Structure 1
Amino acid sequence: MTSLIKSLSLKNFKGFSDEVLIELRPITLLFGANSAGKSSVLHALQYVREILERNNANADRTLQGGDAVDLGGFLNLVHGRDRKSRIEIEIEMALGETPIPELVPEAFEDWQTDDTDVWRFYEALGTIRRKVLSVSVRLIVGWSDLRNEPLVVGYEIGTNGEWCVKFESTPDGRDTKMRINRENPIFMEEREIDEEFDLDALDDWVAEELDLDIDKEHDLLAIAQYQVNARGGRHDINQQLIEAFTRDARSTPLLEIVARLPIDTVWTTNYEQLLEKAYEAAGRRVEVKLSIENLAQARRGRDVTLYKMHGCITQPHQAILTKEDYEDYDRTRRLFTDSLKGDFIEKTLLFLGFSFTDPNVERILAKVREQLGQNKRDHYWITRRPPTINSDGSKSPEELAYDERKARLQSEDLKRYGIQTVWVDEYAHIPELLLALEAYVTRRGVFMSGAASDPSPLGQDRLNELSRALGGEIIRRGFNLVSGFGVGIAEQSILGAFRAVYESKEAQPEERVLIRPFPGSTPAAQRAAAFTRHRGEMISRVGAMVVVSGNKTGDDGTVIASPGVDEEVQIALRLGKPVVPIGVSGHVAQRVWEQAVAHPEQYLPGLKCKDELAILGDQNSTTEQLIEAIMCLLEKAEKLASKKHRVD
């Protein structure tokens, strides 16, 4: 049995304004008066095909209809020819006995790839397929003022009547963000994420030489030690051991969030280099501490120090892999122990993916408790709450209850060291929790995005006055200013901010004004990528962005929109930062203001902003009114971050 279309849903398509659901059968009769919408149903199916097969959101002539069918493009298809509206079309298909891979013919069989993730997904489709009875695809098409053409701004995939994956595009269509509905039943049997790393990767090649069943062994450090004993040393198996301990390591969205957090010290017991790569991708300079020798070294300009207390895959001969390595740790790596002990005393630690079975950490905790007694700092451990229901039946109710009691006892015991447990129901909730933490700790940072070779329409004097006043008010209201020193805007806002700092009678920390000039010495071939990383790093430090003007002088001497300001807006939107555009300052800011008025939830999510946006777009608004409207929006965003994203 082949796949059949069960239903078609239309919204803002031709004559259909409100969403209408049209159920289909193997034989479906469409009848009605002229202009009732019969042709629109067929046109919708042809439009979907044009988008999926030809990436053509502005379709006129079609693959199937040829010259006989002219859809007329997006503006002819969208209801009321309103470019502010979005076409939404959803098709639901009953799969019958059709395997999922056949829905995209030869999608996997023709791929010449050694990527293990691809083939694991391919194998997983067999399990998922048994649960999927129907699949739906929803396309959302909107007009992009940035590109002056329609784009697919949303793409949703559903299974069995529930959404599964959603993709949302940025206004320029250059980037997307993805959300997965992990509550969808098809994911209920997915493999749980190990809290540390997959030590089970010490597998057959070890067991064969020792004549042991690896599935019956739990002390894998001991297994590694037995292997070393059998070989009379580990000089010829260092790389094998390292690869076994890191075989299943892969980057995750969680690491991307961790790399953006304003944390300057990280400790890890993992050997792979995923953290280093995540920090590099986030544009943050990381200094890695691998050995006693480089503990005393300090890299100038570093953003974060990464202590790899068990070594690294790059130096397998020095990695802590066996029981003997652990037993000798205090002698061979005493400075690492002392450094971590100092951080326990001086800093607040957040434990992620850690099971507290590491003997080195246990000894350090005991020494810290002994020295500090009750005068200890609070630390936090994020971990999964033991499940009370086992859907696959692998554990009995008694075993589940036992796991729950043991986890509770461990949590209570960790309080002796000042470690508070933060429970999550699923590992998938940890990124959400860290996003909340990121929003909270960055909520008072404000990034000023702007450039003005041409000061019109405000004029040079008023633009300077506005920038200085805004920089000063940001400081006076308790926010922090972050700037990349754009032409014509940054120096004035920084001047106003520093004046407010020096006029304050209270002591002001130096981070109240953070200036990060762009790396102008970067070679031309690498400059664009370097500037993008630099912008991302700055914007990740703040809770909101203000856009002022946004223009530059082009190569031919004419004034054009600033691509840098455009990119900063897109980065902020991708990171979920509120964007406050001063529309009256013109250029990019005016265009962003128009988009914010049309789609406030995209630019100022969760905020009541209609009145403030009206002021920011009114040429008759005074400087004082503009400043007050901006600060009102910033304070609303800060309160929302404090309330909605509070971490208890």
Structure 2
Amino acid sequence: MSGSRKFSKEIRAFVQSYVEELINDNAAIFAGAGLSASLGYVNWKELLRGIAEGLNLDVDRETNLVALAQYHFNERRNRTELSRRIVAEFSDIRAPSKNHRILARLPISAYWTTNYDKLIETALRSAGKIVDVKYDVAQLKTTAPNRDVVLYKMHGDVDHPDDAVLTKDDYEGYFRKHEPFVTTLSGHLTSKTFLFLGFSFSDPNIDYVMSRVRVMLHNAPKQHYCIMRRERRNESEQEESFEYRKHQQSFLVKDLSRIGVHTLLVDEYEDITLILKAIEREYRQRTVFISGSADEFKKWGNADAHKFVASLSRSLIERHYSVVTGFGRGVGPSVIAGALEPILRERLRYRQSQLIARPFPIAIEGRREREKIYRAYRKQMVKMSGIAVFLFGNKQEDKRIDRADGVEKEFELAVEKGLRVVPVGATGYVAEELWTHVNENFETYYPDATEALKNLFSAIGPSADRSPEKLTEAIMKVIEQIRKDDR
């Protein structure tokens, strides 16, 4: 699977399903050691390699690593060396991977991990989120103010290595000493849709919890997902050994299905990044940024112009998009009015969170400071969105109508941040200039565009039908085709 090749139907269906869970705040992540391995953090086998050597054992021949840690403790009667290795391997703060950064940008409110490192919380804080980290039972009783995310580190944290879950004693006593973690995880496995990443499913705690949840739900567990690389033959590996590992994996996949985990097999670890990017793109493209301002509506008339803007905003909400607006003058009130109409009319079908308004502060003295704050506002709105629509684009200055440079700045920022841009040439002014520019350089803005998209884009140009309903429908077709082409 390469960056340009289309996903399989199975993966496309997963992306759509998981995005729906993101929208409804039902998505969760379970991160295993594999998510950190690409950055050089060791897995369990490597963590215990020196421990095994000290016992005159070969870690590569051991299948029960929990027992191996226990053997060490039995011989030494203390955890000093185990704790030292955890600190040595996981205490350095490394920059999160692409996968960590993508996940951190998604609206996921619950993360679970058996890892000791700090990659997840580092990525989340870099994304501007307030993280409530839980690695001790006592922490479950408190709530961090204004938290965006809860990170459950159910096996401990590198800063407290003596309390990390490592040995058979730790695992056997887990359900007594850490019962609130078990209860919370059981609840999340019942109510949320998990995506397991970098997880081998060899952890006895997780196996027990998931099996218990399956039994409680009368053998009808909630659907969860994991992404796993297909077994492939290593250099110099015997064919028999490779076939055996493939056989093992096939049984694991079937057993995971038994406990409600659907496995998505990929050819390369890099494919996981491509899938996460697809999730982020699909999620962001459910949110449309409407950029525009106008002090006059030449060729339109005020009534038709406001009717059109409200119609566009209303259609987006009714088709279950979210709308972001900066409340541009002459345009913003109609965006708000159009979006609110279905939201207030059918509160069980549409959500107030589908309308996100960020009015620009006007009482700011000093042009430089005002531009700085305005750019920050624009970045915030663009960051929420995956598609940007540009309307009109004029302003009155010194009793004359001039270009609205703010619309142009928002276009440039949207392009910089990777949004799909849809300037509506039929509305004239800056939007018409932008439409002409995109149309003349279409391959630059839509490198993999279909003929269908090119034709639909032409239908919102300067010569388009300006009736509010027809132009609205033409824009909606462009948006839908963009999403179809990007899948």
Do they fold alike, i.e. is TM over 0.5? yes
- The answer (yes or no) to whether the contact 1:449–1:565 under 8 Å persists in 2 is no
1:290-333 alpha-carbon deviations (Å, 9 max, x no partner): 32233243445544332221222344344323333222211221
The DSSP-based 3-state class of the residue aligned with 1:349 is strand
Matched, 1:427 2:269: yes
1:412-458 alpha-carbon deviations (Å, 9 max, x no partner): 11222122221112212122223333444555x23223142755667
**Relative to 1, partners in 2 of residues 1:210 and 1:551: Cα closer, same or farther, differing over 3 Å?**
farther
Q: Which residue of 1 aligns with 2:16?
A: none
Matched, 1:534 2:375: no
Equivalent position amino acid for 1:343 in 2: H
**Relative to 1, partners in 2 of residues 1:250 and 1:230: Cα closer, same or farther, differing over 3 Å?**
farther
Distance 1:519 1:315 in 2: 46
**Relative to 1, partners in 2 of residues 1:212 and 1:403: Cα closer, same or farther, differing over 3 Å?**
closer
Matched, 1:507 2:348: yes
Larger RCO of the pair (alpha carbons < 8 Å, separation 6+): 2
Alignment map for 1:235-274 (pairs within 5 Å): 238=83, 240-244=85-89, 251-274=96-119
Q: Which residue of 2 aligns with 1:485?
A: 326
Matched, 1:418 2:260: yes
**Relative to 1, partners in 2 of residues 1:267 and 1:618: Cα closer, same or farther, differing over 3 Å?**
same
1:201-231 alpha-carbon deviations (Å, 9 max, x no partner): 4367646755655555555444544555566
1:243-285 alpha-carbon deviations (Å, 9 max, x no partner): 3257797632222332333433221112222222333344444
The DSSP-based 3-state class of the residue aligned with 2:193 is coil
Equivalent position amino acid for 2:440 in 1: A
Equivalent position amino acid for 2:246 in 1: E
Q: Which residue of 2 aligns with 1:447?
A: 288
Distance 2:165 2:316 in 1: 49
**Relative to 1, partners in 2 of residues 1:409 and 1:215: Cα closer, same or farther, differing over 3 Å?**
closer
Q: Which residue of 1 aligns with 2:421?
A: 579
Equivalent in 447, 453, 466 of residue 308 of structure 2: 466
Q: Which residue of 2 aligns with 1:322?
A: 167
Matched, 1:294 2:139: yes
Q: Which moved more, 1:307-316 or 1:626-635?
A: 307-316
Matched, 1:609 2:450: no
- The answer (yes or no) to whether the contact 1:283–1:536 under 8 Å persists in 2 is no
Distance 2:34 2:464 in 1: 59
Matched, 1:545 2:391: no
**Relative to 1, partners in 2 of residues 1:519 and 1:368: Cα closer, same or farther, differing over 3 Å?**
farther
Equivalent in 381, 384, 391 of residue 226 of structure 2: 381
Equivalent position amino acid for 1:471 in 2: S
**Relative to 1, partners in 2 of residues 1:268 and 1:533: Cα closer, same or farther, differing over 3 Å?**
farther
Distance 1:450 1:494 in 2: 13
Alignment map for 1:102-113 (pairs within 5 Å): none
The DSSP-based 3-state class of the residue aligned with 1:255 is helix
Q: Which has the higher helix share?
A: 2
**Relative to 1, partners in 2 of residues 1:239 and 1:581: Cα closer, same or farther, differing over 3 Å?**
farther
**Relative to 1, partners in 2 of residues 1:615 and 1:366: Cα closer, same or farther, differing over 3 Å?**
closer
- The answer (yes or no) to whether the contact 1:580–1:603 under 8 Å persists in 2 is no
Alignment map for 1:94-105 (pairs within 5 Å): none
Distance 2:141 2:203 in 1: 25
Q: Which residue of 2 aligns with 1:340?
A: 185
Matched, 1:400 2:242: yes
- The answer (yes or no) to whether the contact 2:114–2:154 under 8 Å persists in 1 is yes
Equivalent position amino acid for 2:316 in 1: I
Q: Which residue of 1 aligns with 2:149?
A: 304
**Relative to 1, partners in 2 of residues 1:418 and 1:583: Cα closer, same or farther, differing over 3 Å?**
same
- The answer (yes or no) to whether the contact 2:117–2:158 under 8 Å persists in 1 is yes
Give RMSD over aligned pairs.
Answer: 3.9
Q: Which residue of 1 aligns with 2:358?
A: 517
- The answer (yes or no) to whether the contact 2:324–2:381 under 8 Å persists in 1 is no
- The answer (yes or no) to whether the contact 2:453–2:478 under 8 Å persists in 1 is yes
- The answer (yes or no) to whether the contact 1:480–1:511 under 8 Å persists in 2 is no
- The answer (yes or no) to whether the contact 2:223–2:260 under 8 Å persists in 1 is yes
**Relative to 1, partners in 2 of residues 1:601 and 1:297: Cα closer, same or farther, differing over 3 Å?**
farther
Matched, 1:629 2:474: yes
- The answer (yes or no) to whether the contact 1:451–1:487 under 8 Å persists in 2 is yes
**Relative to 1, partners in 2 of residues 1:498 and 1:399: Cα closer, same or farther, differing over 3 Å?**
same
Distance 2:146 2:395 in 1: 30
Distance 1:620 1:342 in 2: 53
Alignment map for 1:124-203 (pairs within 5 Å): 194=34, 197=37, 198-199=42-43, 200-202=45-47
**Relative to 1, partners in 2 of residues 1:218 and 1:553: Cα closer, same or farther, differing over 3 Å?**
farther
Gaps of 5+ in 2: 5-32, 364-368
Deviation at 1:473, TM superposition (A): 1.9
Equivalent position amino acid for 2:349 in 1: Q
Considering only CA atoms, is the larger Rg found in Structure 1 or Structure 2? 1
**Relative to 1, partners in 2 of residues 1:369 and 1:446: Cα closer, same or farther, differing over 3 Å?**
closer
Equivalent position amino acid for 1:448 in 2: F
Gaps of 5+ in 1: 1-163, 167-192
- The answer (yes or no) to whether the contact 1:457–1:584 under 8 Å persists in 2 is no
Distance 1:285 1:536 in 2: 21
Distance 1:481 1:302 in 2: 23
Distance 2:296 2:75 in 1: 76
Q: Which has the higher strand share?
A: 1
Distance 2:241 2:93 in 1: 28
Q: Which residue of 1 aligns with 2:405?
A: 561
Distance 2:128 2:102 in 1: 13
Deviation at 1:338, TM superposition (A): 0.7
Equivalent in 185, 191, 209 of residue 364 of structure 1: 209
Equivalent position amino acid for 1:598 in 2: E
Distance 2:382 2:103 in 1: 14
Equivalent position amino acid for 1:617 in 2: G
The DSSP-based 3-state class of the residue aligned with 1:422 is strand
Equivalent in 419, 429, 434 of residue 592 of structure 1: 434
Distance 2:405 2:485 in 1: 32
Equivalent position amino acid for 1:534 in 2: Q
